[in-house]
Structure 1
Amino acid sequence: MSPPPTEVVARERARSGAAPLARLADYVALTRPRILSLVALTVPPAFVLGGGEWPAPAVLVAVILGVTLLGAGSSAINAWWERDRDARMLRTADRPLPQRRLEPSQALGFGIATSAAGATLLAVGGGALAALVGLATLAHYLVVYTVWLKPRSSWSTVVGAIAGAAPPLVADAVDGSFGFAGLWIFAVVFLWQPPHVWAIALYRDSEYAAAGFPMLPRVIGERRARRWMLGFALVLWAVMLVPWIVGLLGIVYGVTASLAGFAFVARIVESMRLGTEAADRAVFRTSLVVLASVLGVALVECALR
């Protein structure tokens, strides 16, 4: 007797047959943990960078967990909405929903539950304004970006970057207002996202086209897209240096931000010169190091005060 079709096997596993650890790994994969960890890094410096004091430990933990859970929930709901498009892309085809390791209803339920838990933590630990900013970010990411713009506009990445950069504003809102710290980190993460995403779109161009996403490099051409990437990277470099220039962060941060900005710009210039997949992948990898190093050093300097 021939074995049952792969789809049937996968669906059966999704219903009851998967090992607990494998199922847990699938739920974790829905949250996109690598990006989620970078999001969590943006929260602590927002409390103290502008000269403020560290909040009570319970508040700090509640806000970090709240932001993380909201991010996890939004990623899971995004994965549920885009599951058919994800199946057409090599980059995303092995995710739990395209592979049918989870049912769509399971992913949606998980996303709603984690989002609700995150909003509750923010409301209890961070206050009404923090929870409101968090929920507005969730709505912007899911409705404005995921559902409306991403399938329709080549500039969706720029608009979607607002949601990706908002977590430090959530932390900043705990005291009822927005100050330099939250706005600066917001600017850094906002400016970082377009060249990061467009680098992927350059070397995954055919996949995005197959999925029906009009990414900027395909719409306006690779050469012009790389120029836009360079423009964002140059402004990002300048913005990253601001806390050092005005004396809010020290020499270690200043050197880190200087080198990180230079490396990012240099990689993009190399991509403009070579126009190869390898060069575009190097831009993507460098972008991850840039954000992690700048935020990480800022966090360490704040923690050592």
Structure 2
Amino acid sequence: MSTSTTTTSATTLAPERTGWTARMADYWELTKPRIVAMELITIAMGFYLAAAADWSGWVLFATCLGTGLVAGSASTLNMWLERHLDALMNRTANRPLPAQRLRPTEALVFGSVLLVAGALLLAAGPGVPTLLLGIGCWILYVVIYTPLKTRSTLNTAVGAASGSLPIVMGWVAAGGEFGLSALSLFGVLYLWQYPHFMAIAWRCRDDYQRAGYVMSTTVDPTGRRAGIEAIVGSLLLLPVSLIPAWLASSTLLAALYLGWAVLLSVVYIWASVAFARSPGDATSRTLLRASLLYLPLWILGLLLVAV
């Protein structure tokens, strides 16, 4: 995105709206591409873990692209619904809608088209079960999580569920059955998000307060509640993260994974406890970094299990 685009006044349409490069960049920003990219990684991981020897490249392609489109739609419509609140927060005021680089109707149409295209791909590729999971994920994020953010701290629980379903979608798309393995993959991603969200909620608490979001850090500005939730999430994550060891093809690989998962969880618990004991910018930054390290390193451990 060009410098002139990022400094556009929020009261007038930016001149760059007539430039296709800037317009495409704004549409791209609506999809929250970094979140979509993380979801695609977890989808591919779930697919890889469940895939048999005769897995289909077309099904994998349709699952990833279809889910990416549905996720992009959810993010776009989330921004459409929250455009007035985004204008109140420093970190979101320059998004395409509050900055008026795109019209609300353009975002609404774009998000709707992404949803239809993604749903058609999921139906044509992995089939109805994966499609239903994708639509469920979209509903959780757009219909429940988004309005709940200004009403209850339960929005974190709903948002975490939405963010955890893609790995199950990949698992089901590859022919995996609903069972303990699928639930454990969902559980790891779900519980991982609690300390992660608490760190972000602390760092963005002033913005959230201005926008009227009901978060643990706005309900309890001391950070104590957020710290407790981070500890509970990281503690529960430890036993749940050990379950995928059942996927290992040998006792040695299972043992290696167990040791790896315990090490990751211990670090995550330590960072959560440090934040809970002394909520602040330094400890929240440490917790956020620990969360961002945990996920890719846990995925590496899963790759070891699947060898």
SS of residue matched to 1:130: helix
**What are the equivalent positions in structure 2 for 1:238-253 lying under 5 Å apart?**
238-244=239-245, 247=248, 250=254, 253=257
In structure 2, what is the Cα distance between the partners aligned to 1:269 and 1:194? 13
Which residue of 2 is the match for residue 56 of structure 1?
Answer: 56
Whole-angstrom CA distance in 2 between matches of 1:106 and 1:252: 50
Q: 2 CA distance for matches of 1:132 and 1:165?
A: 15
More off after superposition, 31-40 vs 244-253: 244-253
Q: Structure 1 stretch 115-124 or stretch 22-31: which is displaced more? A: 22-31
User: In the alignment, is residue 10 of structure 1 matched against residue 13 of structure 2?
Assistant: yes
Structure 1: where are the runs of 5+ without partners?
none
Contact preservation (8 Å) 2:122, 2:130: yes
Partner of 1:197: 197
Shift of 1:295: 2.1
Matching of residues 201-216 of structure 1 within 5 Å: 201-216=201-216
Q: Residues 51 and 97 (structure 1 numbering): CA distance in 2 closer, same or farther, change over 3 Å?
A: closer
Q: Which residue of 1 aligns with 2:115?
A: 115
Q: Provide the alpha-carbon RMSD of the alignment.
A: 2.4
Aligned to 2:159: 160
Q: Give the corresponding residue for 1:38.
A: 38
Residue 265 to residue 125, structure 1, CA distance change in 2 (3 Å): same
CA distance in 2, matches of 1:50, 1:134: 18
* Structure 2 runs not aligned, ≥5 long: 1-7
Partner SS, residue 126 of structure 1: coil
Report the Cα distance in structure 2 between the residues aligned to 1:13 and 1:247, rounded to whole angstroms.
53
Change (3 A) 1:9 1:89: closer
> 2:268 is aligned with what amino acid?
F
2:270 aligned residue: 266
Q: Which amino acid in the other structure matches residue 271 of structure 2? A: R
Q: Which residue does 1:134 correspond to in 2?
A: 134
Within 5 A, what are the aligned runs for 1:90-101? 90-101=90-101
Question: 1:164 offset after TM fit, Å?
Answer: 1.2
Name the TM-score, length of structure 2 as normaliser: 0.87
In the other structure, the counterpart of 2:224 is 223
93 and 300 in structure 1: CA distance in 2 versus 1, 3 angstrom threshold? farther
Percent of aligned pairs sharing the same letter: 36
Please report the TM-score for the alignment, with normalisation by the length of structure 1.
Answer: 0.87
1:279: which partner in 2? 283
What's the CA shift for 1:214? Answer: 0.8
8 Å CA contact 2:217–2:226 kept in 1: the answer is: yes
Q: In 2, distance between residues paired with 1:54 and 1:200?
A: 42
Q: 1:54 to 1:274 in 2, by over 3 A?
A: farther
Is the aligned partner of 1:294 residue 2:293?
no
Distance 2:176 2:263 in 1: 35
- What SS does the aligned partner of 1:68 have? helix
Q: Is the 2:122–2:131 contact (alpha carbons within 8 Å) kept by the matching residues of 1?
A: yes
- SS state of the match for residue 49, structure 1? helix
Q: C-alpha separation between the residues in 1 aligned to 2:68 and 2:203?
A: 29
Say if 1:296 and 1:75 are closer, same or farther in 2 by CA, change over 3 A.
farther
Distance 2:162 2:71 in 1: 10
Q: How many residues align?
A: 295
